[in-house]
Structure 1
Amino acid sequence: MLIHEHVLLMGMEHTFDYRPDFFAKKTVDDAAAGLNALKSFVRPSALAGKQGTVGR
């Protein structure tokens, strides 16, 4: 299996209309925590040389 990424772009008008909570601190913190949790599924060698965590 090949590892790959998906990048989704969302217009700001859509964000304001359908995700009013998008910029709330809790939403951002939850998203960052979820992305950091994903790191536990990645081989350490795949992250070699990449420092830091996702979030504010």
Structure 2
Amino acid sequence: MLMCDYIVESIDGDYAHLRRTDVPDEELKLVARALLPFDIVEGSKLHYEMMQYTIID
């Protein structure tokens, strides 16, 4: 099961571009904003586990 952290690099309409913190050279992941917490902004840190994203401080 995949568990990792992401940083929101940019928000483009209904999608957000996420960068993994443990593999910074990996290609950005494009995720629909409907799958992400409502109050994300560029620079938000997210934790992904069990097909859910949560904001971390």
Higher relative contact order (CA 8 A, sep 6+): 2
**TM above 0.5:** no
Give the structure with the larger helix fraction: 1
- Please, what TM-score do these two structures have when normalized by structure 2? 0.21
- Please, what TM-score do these two structures have when normalized by structure 1? 0.21
Give the structure with the larger strand fraction: 2
